[in-house]
Structure 1
Amino acid sequence: MTFAITFAVLAPMSLGIFDVFTMTQQQGRLQDALDAAALYAARSTATTTPDINTIGNKALVANLQLIPGATLQSSSFTLVSTPGGDTKVTGTAQVSLPAYAPTEFTHAPISVNTEVTRPGNNLEVSLVLDNTGSMAGTPMTSLQSAANQLIDLVVSDQQSPYYSKMAIVPYSNAVNAGTYVNTVRGTPTTAPSPIASPCIDQVGCTKIKFTPYSGSTHPTYNVSNCVSERIGIHAFDDTAYSAASGAVGWVYPPSDGSNNCISAAIQPLTSNKTTLHNEIGTLTAAGSTAGAIGVEWGWYMISPSWGPLWPSGSQPAAYGTDKLIKAMILMTDGAFNTTYCKGVVSGPTSATDGTSGATTTHAACASPNGDSFTQAQTLCTNMKAAPNNIVIYTVAFLHGGADPQAQAILANCATDAAHAYVPSTGASLTSAFQSIAADLNKLRISK
């Protein structure tokens, strides 16, 4: 009799204690899994609550360990803005437990909550794209497709609390400065007729008569909207353009049409994806490869020193700004082979420079800055150095086969080997751009 009474009292209590034990055990497992899922979602590239919720729930299910008989009753993850400008991922989950004790004991589901502050960075990216003649046809189509995907992956639809902007610099034998050309180069004066000094072997006029590298005839070329490399003490830095610090170079294209001014002009930083896609749609393939000029303008587009040139929404932030990443993506399909002297493609200055077009269309003088490879390397080195700290990705699109010189140029220019890509097909070019976008998004959503 005593045993029966004691058992009748103690058994439910023991089962109740077991329920408490299992509840405590499951609550700890649920909290650990929810914390891990929220952290995973916070580190993802998702920018909306529905996407965060999908990612968080998948991670929760993958990590949650349930005791026998327990079931996940509900879970949700939300993206919330904080007063300080950051965002945080909040999560909640409920698990129902099996009941061993009589119903007189409480068997309510266990519920846990978590939140993870999501750090972030603003992003300014310059996309420098090869538009040379060798890109004609399928290569250009592949580039446009890959670049459009890159834009959609890097430039976020949500520009708050962090922005992501991109600039585009098409280049071939030069860079088209568009409506900014007279500001950065100077306004040409009317050339006298017949041409006389200073329009002989000297820039600044609407027409120039120059001494060619070969041939007895002194050709006369018209000025264009394209610009060439900057010379002088600021040739390899981003000091603001001015008469005192040195304007960028002029370009007088050959009259035979072999190296016309590239038709696609520069596009300053913007978060307007339609504008960026439209810019990609203007790309055409023609001319030789003045890669150093492309690098130079890739820097200018994200340089705070050049900010006053651009519209207010396109002005880059200062170097060292908290929560800011500046990056350049440089793409080419061949070695750099074009430099300038006094506004005209220079005579051969190395094994690779001055090889595009007839020597009768080249100036007799060499580039004051040296060959295009050396110029590009110096510019890249200075871009990567403090306080600039620009991250550089390079893409050698070798659709025509191996090109050791192009690979060497880009390998030296990239931040490191992990930032240098060597695709050879349209599909691998797309994959390279996707990998770069993923890495930029990791930088954007990181401390």
Structure 2
Amino acid sequence: MSSAFCFRYFGLQARRLGSARDGNIAVIFAIALLPIFAFIGAAVDYSRANMARSAMQSALDSTALMLSRDLSQGTITSTQIGTTAQNYFSALYTNKEANSVSVSATYTAAATGNGPTIVVNGSGSIPTDFMKVVGLPSVSFSANSTTSWGANLLRVALVLDNTGSMADSNKIGALQSAAKKLVTQLSALAQNNGDVMISVVPFEIDVNVGTSNVGASWLRWDRWDPNMYQNPYFQQSWCSDNGWTSTLAQCQDHGYRWTDSVGTPAHSQWNGCVTDRDKDPSLNYDISATAPTTGTNSTLFIADQDPNCPAAAILPLTYNWSTVNSTINGMSPGGATNQTIGLQWGWLSLLQQSPLNAPAETVGNAYQHIIILFTDGLNTGDRWYGNYSSQSSDVDTRMKMLCQAIKNSGVTIYTVQIDTDGAGQSAVLPACATDSSKFFMLTQASQIAAAFSQIGTQIAKLRVAR
């Protein structure tokens, strides 16, 4: 309510009072006017003060961010923080009603488990229009903003497409180079071993969990046959109704017949691949982080024998950067696209549970959990759906559900798609990203490095804590 409106309103009431013939009513009304006037005036004055405070909060947030940027980049020293804060704030805070405005900034150096911190405080007052009648000539207000960088501990899963089309246009080479640069960028944020940890999940239709896990209790072998797809034009194909289906699990779950007599082959013949878990109608193990339970087959991971099993096995969270880079160097293209299984294993790699058993997180520390999913194509198949050549909306549907579950758990998702052959933008990747700034659409292999660098900058960017 503006002051001009209030004066017009009360002027009208005064004229009505002057024409009143009932003396008692006139007296009572006159007495009642004072508290009514005070309450309405207080609301107006406090509303103005609140607007001034909101504007101050916004200016303080921006000031704190710019100070932290300047200090972290070496543009200013810690002794210049006070003066620089005043200059930034004066340029940003434009509320002309505020009086006695002051701003101060304090810097706290990094300590074990905590990054450097800048706190910016501001205060001011608004002269009152109405409350001065009751002895309050002004309303004071204050606000503050805190920035810290390097305070959050990072756990990042790199979920990287290793499908056959990655061989085109040197996409696999560009990805390897960009991913290793990102590892260098993120590892530089660590003050201590374990502050930053990275896992690597190469994927195609399946993922490779490593033959060293052959005796793991979370594997099941009832859908495994070391005999796998053979080119039907030259050799035997065990999937009689569709010779292009690769493995026992994929053949049967696509509704075809597996004609080989499996017998009891030695598990030593296993190549390390696993396919999707069961998609129970209500529990959806293929798109959940439910821990596997020995004796409950639907929760276990199915040993598979995909002939295009990724050459690089999944690397659980680690801060051994040479091992991370060796895993990335070991990637090679082959097979079709099932982003869902890669994304699920990326999620699992961040959890302190079987099968990947991420290291325990220290109580009292803040952790950021992040998945970066890179792919060069559209989903073409999984254990049940798709022909492994053209886009499968059924696989996309499973993936959409998984993405939502991951985001609901508090994990931040970045998605990067590169389309060099005109297949078009994915129907699921933009929505899978946590927000629009975390989806990247590329058309050339040369753009991968810039996208990964931008992601690294976003991950490391300053965090405002009010």
Which bracket does the TM-score occupy, shorter chain normalised?
Answer: 0.5 to 0.7
Query: Displacement of 1:62 after TM fit?
Result: 7.9
Query: Displacement of 1:374 after TM fit?
Result: 1.8
Partner of 2:148: 118
Q: Normalising by structure 2, report the TM-score.
A: 0.60
Question: Is the Cα contact below 8 Å between 1:45 and 1:442 reproduced in 2?
Answer: no
Equivalents in 2 of 1:226, 1:161: separation in Å? 31
Equivalents in 2 of 1:149, 1:83: separation in Å? 26
Query: Displacement of 1:292 after TM fit?
Result: 1.1
- Of the three residues 263, 271, 276, the one matched with 2:311 is 263
AA matched with 1:239:
T
Equivalents in 1 of 2:217, 2:189: separation in Å? 32
AA matched with 1:376:
M
Q: Equivalences for 1:79-98 in 2 at 5 Å?
A: 80-82=109-111, 85-88=114-117
Q: Normalising by structure 1, report the TM-score.
A: 0.62
Equivalents in 2 of 1:230, 1:336: separation in Å? 17
Q: Is 1:413 aligned with 2:439?
A: no
Query: Displacement of 1:211 after TM fit?
Result: 4.6
Query: Displacement of 1:291 after TM fit?
Result: 1.3
Question: Is the Cα contact below 8 Å between 2:109 and 2:117 reproduced in 1?
Answer: yes
Equivalents in 2 of 1:177, 1:394: separation in Å? 23
Equivalents in 1 of 2:463, 2:295: separation in Å? 37
User: Aligned to 1:411, what secondary structure does the other structure show?
Assistant: helix
Instruction: Return closer, same or farther for 1:56/1:270 CA change in 2, 3 Å cut-off.
Output: same
Equivalents in 2 of 1:298, 1:44: separation in Å? 35
Partner of 1:145: 177
Instruction: Return closer, same or farther for 1:421/1:166 CA change in 2, 3 Å cut-off.
Output: same
Instruction: Return closer, same or farther for 1:165/1:78 CA change in 2, 3 Å cut-off.
Output: same
User: Aligned to 1:431, what secondary structure does the other structure show?
Assistant: helix
Q: Is 1:252 aligned with 2:305?
A: yes
Partner of 1:392: 413
Partner of 1:286: 334
Partner of 1:343: none
Q: Is 1:303 aligned with 2:329?
A: no
Equivalents in 2 of 1:161, 1:117: separation in Å? 23
Q: Is 1:325 aligned with 2:368?
A: yes
Question: Is the Cα contact below 8 Å between 1:170 and 1:283 reproduced in 2?
Answer: yes
Q: Is 1:235 aligned with 2:286?
A: yes
Query: Displacement of 1:446 after TM fit?
Result: 6.0
Query: Which ranges of structure 2 fall in alignment gaps of 5 or more residues?
Result: 1-61, 88-105, 120-145, 229-236, 244-256, 263-268
Q: How many residues align?
A: 327
Query: Which ranges of structure 1 fall in alignment gaps of 5 or more residues?
Result: 1-35, 66-76, 91-115, 189-201, 254-258, 341-345, 358-366
The Cα RMSD (Å) is 4.0
AA matched with 1:391:
T
Question: Is the Cα contact below 8 Å between 2:430 and 2:436 reproduced in 1?
Answer: yes
Q: Is 1:373 aligned with 2:396?
A: yes
Question: Is the Cα contact below 8 Å between 2:270 and 2:305 reproduced in 1?
Answer: yes
Question: Is the Cα contact below 8 Å between 2:218 and 2:294 reproduced in 1?
Answer: no
* Percentage of identical aligned residues: 27
Q: Is 1:427 aligned with 2:446?
A: yes
Q: Deviations over 1:83-123 (max 9, x none)?
A: 77443479xxxxxxxxxxxxxxxxxxxxxxxxx87352111
Equivalents in 2 of 1:173, 1:223: separation in Å? 16
Partner of 1:176: 208
